[in-house]
Structure 1
Amino acid sequence: MRQSVQRVVPHERERIFDLVADVESYPSFLPLWKAARIIGHTADGYRTRQSLGIGPAKLDFISHTALTFPDRIVVASQDGPMRSLRMEWGLETAGPGQCRAKLDLVVEVHSRMLQKLLQATYGEMAPRLITAFERRANAVARGEIPPPPSFVPNAGTDAAPVPPGDAGKRQSAGEER
């Protein structure tokens, strides 16, 4: 399944970046996501153990997230049941208080049956994901939920970036919690 969508949302790109980078919050608002936990840092982002639910099936895998603040996030995996998972977010300012969010999504699993179930159940997943992030940004703006932690790039250091939710808990690449 390959999909692309873009939309102008009424939020600053830094806010959308922080929401997308806050992977550990995904299970609370995204369809499919059952679990997401950062397990280590890399030079350009972090590794996450994730679990998706597709009907009665559960897909567990590890992904790598590359963060380029504030305009690009790429999540990729070829682990476990994933033949190919790639979510590429592009964010650009579209005017005062507005962001053009673009999502290119590829989700292919090894099992043909699961692939068909995925397509039948979540056909237009990319627009659903952008809508979910836009709703979450709206809820933050209305004060209904707290804002995500801000992504803090480590300018001028060789250290891995500190993703949201992990400030002060730096780990070396590949180290598991």
Structure 2
Amino acid sequence: MVLNYLFRRKPEYRTRKLLCFSKEQMYEVVADIENYSSFLPFCTQSNIVDQNQSELKVKLEIGFPPIKEKYTSLVTMNKPNLILAKSCDGELFEYLETVWKFTSVPQGDPMTCIVDFSIKFKFKSNLYTHVASVFFGKLVKCLETAFINEAVRRYGRSSTCIFEMTSQD
């Protein structure tokens, strides 16, 4: 009964943070898909295979030895406000949707922004779904931290302010 419940779960994560980076800076970090493998844990390859002005088709390889999986995502970009990525090949995921929304702080410091981040997915494999549900919270926090750490590396913040905010639905 518990296993059936775990296999049916659809992991979803949503957060809102106030960061000491401009929305343009955070957008650039998240939009730098070709370099994901250099700063995102578990991403071993990231290649743009097709693109136009607002959409990219991206092949990603994720995993850790001995498990490695590849999938294709369609990434829609609205610079510097939004990045939406959806798995589009149907091989690894039943669905995968990641949303990054970047908002300037009204009447605030231009070097701060609000970042809304959400991810939801379901693997085709029940085993992968179960493993992901066990480690899901740690995994998404690890990914989120990797993007923030990359912003720190690029833009040289010695003391990064990060404030967890109430997520908007």
TM-score (norm 2): 0.78
Q: Does the Cα contact within 8 Å between 2:74 and 2:88 map onto a contact in 1? A: no
Q: Deviations over 1:41-67 (max 9, x none)?
A: 145221001111056322211101000
Alignment RMSD? 1.8
Runs of 4+ displaced beyond 4 Å? none
Check conservation: 1:54, 1:118, Cα contact below 8 A.
Answer: no
Deviation at 1:114, TM superposition (A): 1.0
Per the alignment, residue 156 of structure 1 pairs with none
Aligned: 1:121 with 2:127: no
Alpha-carbon distance in 1 for matches of 2:137, 2:48: 27
In structure 2, the residue matched to 1:22 is 32
Task: Report percent identity of matched pairs.
Answer: 21
Cα separation, 2, equivalents of 1:115 and 1:55 = 18
Tell me: CA distance 1:29–1:5, structure 2 relative to 1, closer, same or farther (3 Å).
same
Structure 2 counterpart of 1:29, one-letter code:
F
Conservation of the 8 A alpha-carbon contact between 1:104 and 1:126 = no
Unaligned runs of 5+ in 2: 1-10, 158-169
Greater helix fraction, Structure 1 or Structure 2: 2
Distance 1:111-1:57 versus aligned 2 partners, 3 A rule: same
1:66 pairs with 2:76: yes
Q: Does 1:52 align with 2:62?
A: yes
Quick one: distance in 1 between partners of 2:121 and 2:32? 20
Matched residue SS, 1:14: helix
Q: Count residues with an aligned counterpart.
A: 143
Letter in 1 for 2:96: L
Q: Which residue of 119, 122, 142 maps to 1:108?
A: 122
Counterpart secondary structure, 2:45: strand
Give the structure-1-normalised TM-score: 0.74
